[in-house]
Amino acid sequence: MNQPIKWVENQMPKSSDSQLKVMDLEEVKKARAFHKSFPQYSKTPLRKLENMAGYLGVKEIYVKDESYRFGLNAFKVLGGSFAMARYIAKQTGKDVSDLPYQVLTSEKLREEFGQATFFTATDGNHGRGVAWAANRLGQKAVVFMPKGSTQTRLENIRKEGATATIEEVNYDECVRMAAAAAAKTENGVVVQDTAWEGYEEIPAWIMQGYGTMAMEADEQLSQMDCGRPTHVFVQAGVGSLAGAVQGYFANRYPDNPPTVVVVEADVAACLYKGAAAGDGKLRIVDGDMQTIMAGLACGEPNTISWDILKNHVKVFVSAPDWIAAKGMRMLAAPIKGDPQVTSGESGAAPFGVLAAVMTMDEYKDLRDAIGLDEHSKVLLFSTEGDTDPERYKNIVWEGKEK
């Protein structure tokens, strides 16, 4: 018997919403201009699943396919690269708009800024993005990975010239290790997409970097004559991506925002637990957090994102592994005529939730709570491709869920 999806409607008290400005459209435009300056930049595809929408009983389904991002198979590089640029801009007294790729990688800037060592913790995608950006910008990177991380993801990071190790602790402990190591290193900087008291500037920059993806999707929806989506499903680990996407669309459509559904891995559902408690305070999950959704196995929320999410999200969902596996298989083998999407374990979880909610009677209450019906236009973000090809094949081809 499969574990059920758990969900809670957001009834938390609202705050002054002071963090929404982090995702101001002008800030996102700066990030987008920065990413466009990279020779490797191209807009990732927005896939329209027309036949799947008909099958599931909604009007339209769009999936942003991040498996094409900078050749790295995941969206995370958007955040790490922009945060590094903002940091270098701040240290050299410049505006990030004056530091496009060709300036950042120039000998002149290297002489002016010198070299920093960027420390981070990751299950794979974020660390690879930080390592890739550091490599391109002539900087150093040191990456700590939690136990259970795969050898494939470790090697992908090392190939970018970073120092990387798999530790015997969970993700949140790796974050603390990265912060401690940075504090002991000359020109050591933590580039982490989770924020805590006293560490909020760099995570805010990372979120703005993620805004590039939301802004691209928004433009693509307009080009495809969709306009505003009625619903956005987005996954969350610490919540930085979810806060960035929610923040972007709340700023973009202040008078009529889309209904946002946040999806977490059930063993690491810190945001869901916070929403279920209903008091608006942070909740922390600890332990090993074993899940196929490695990118979502984070138990301590980003404080900036949490503030945005509790003010704007409609429903928080805690999803078991079978949901992610279901999403991966359905996107890999969609209905004839629809494009295939190679979506990894964390990337496919929101689609798995959408499919379950629309086809299983036991989730009718959730369907009704978020107003999903034949008029709904749903946007989802497949944040990674097969970043671990063996695991992807095991789940999609062999039917395993481990």
- pLDDT tens-digit readout, 357-385: 999 999 999 999 999 999 999 999 999 99
Rg (CA), the chain: 20
Position 82 confidence tier, pLDDT thresholds 50, 70, 90: very high
Would you list the DSSP string of 154-169? HHHHHTTT-EEEE-SS
Query: What is the domain partition of the chain in residue ranges?
Result: 6-74+202-396, 77-197
- Catalytic pick among 48, 76, 326, 377: 76
Look up 307 and say whether it is catalytic.
no
Position 192 confidence tier, pLDDT thresholds 50, 70, 90: very high
Cα 128 vs. chain centroid, distance in angstroms?
14
- Catalytic pick among 30, 65, 123, 388: 123
Tens of pLDDT, residue by residue over 57-75, are 999 999 999 999 999 999 9
Contact 398, 332 (CB under 8 A): no
**% the chain with pLDDT above 90:** 94
Mean pLDDT of 117-123: 94
Measured distance CA(202)–CA(87) in Å, rounded: 8
pLDDT of residue 401: 82
Mean pLDDT of 93-103: 96
Using CA atoms of 152, 154, 159, 160 in order, give the dihedral in degrees to the nearest 10.
Answer: 130
Do 6-74+202-396 and 77-197 agree at the fold level? yes
- The hierarchical CATH code for the domain 6-74+202-396 is 3.40.50.1100
Spatial strand order of the sheet with 163-166 comes to 163-166, 140-145, 117-121, 188-190
Tens of pLDDT, residue by residue over 154-172, are 999 999 999 999 999 999 9
CATH topology assigned to domain 77-197: Rossmann fold (3.40.50)
Measured distance CA(189)–CA(179) in Å, rounded: 8
Measured distance CA(158)–CA(134) in Å, rounded: 12
Tens of pLDDT, residue by residue over 251-291, are 999 999 999 999 999 999 999 999 999 999 999 999 888 99
pLDDT, the chain, mean: 96
Which tops the pLDDT comparison, 123 or 331? 331
Q: Which two tokens stand for residue 212?
A: 């590039």
Contact 70, 77 (CB under 8 A): yes
Query: Which ranges in 8-73 belong to alpha helices (H)?
Result: 25-36, 50-56
Which tops the pLDDT comparison, 295 or 56? 56
Tens of pLDDT, residue by residue over 207-260, are 999 999 999 999 999 999 999 999 999 999 999 999 999 999 999 999 999 999
pLDDT for residue 1 is more than 80: no
Please state the pTM of the whole predicted model: 0.96
pLDDT of residue 124: 81
- Strand ranges in 146-257 using DSSP code E only, listed in sequence order: 163-166, 188-190, 231-235
Measured distance CA(377)–CA(228) in Å, rounded: 8
pLDDT for residue 402 is more than 90: no
**Quick count: other Cβ atoms within 10 Å of Cβ 291?**
23
Q: Which two tokens stand for residue 385?
A: 């491709």
Tens of pLDDT, residue by residue over 32-50, are 999 999 999 999 999 999 9
Q: Which residue is listed with tokens 């466009």?
A: 36
Look up 123 and say whether it is catalytic.
yes
